[in-house]
Amino acid sequence: MLQSETTELLAKNQFAEAAKRIEEHGKTNRRDHPWVMRWVLQLTCRLVKEDKAPQAFQFVSSLENPLWREAAFQIAAALCVRRGLAGYAWQFAQESRLSATEEVALLHGLVVALAEKRE
């Protein structure tokens, strides 16, 4: 149910509502935490793969859980590089007020993907 509901919300660009539903599920179902984090990462990747990088970063920014945010920022940035959308990730890093660890995670994703691309 969470999967279909959040997929539908993201399709309607209701990022904050999708994040809220994910957070609520994570709080009431502690045993699902690893699964929920994987779902966050899948949704983030799906948005980037659909060439919706700005929306992916907006969705991730709507999450409250800092660990989920850091992991999602990192993977979104890396995937942006691989898809030729690195400019979105860089611009987001420059314009957003991320915590230090979130910024490091995002920039780490950029740098690692750029280094892999050069090889």
pLDDT digits (tens, 9 = 90+) for 68-87: 999 999 999 999 999 999 99
DSSP secondary structure of 36-102: HHHHHHHHHHHHHHTT-HHHHHHHHHH---HHHHHHHHHHHHHHHHHTT-HHHHHHHHHHS---HHH
Q: Is 74 exposed, middle or buried (0-12, 13-18, 19+ CB in 10 A)?
A: buried
Q: What is the pLDDT of residues 79-117, one digit of tens each?
A: 999 999 999 999 999 999 999 999 999 999 999 999 998
* Residue indicated by tokens 């970063």: 57
Amino acid present at 28: T
User: Is residue 30 scored above 90 in pLDDT?
Assistant: no
DSSP letter assigned to residue 12: T
Burial class (CB in 10 A: 0-12, 13-18, 19+), 86: buried
The yes-or-no verdict on residue 5 having pLDDT over 80 is yes
Element (H, E) at 21: helix 15-28
pTM of the model: 0.92
- Domain-wise residue ranges, the chain: 2-118
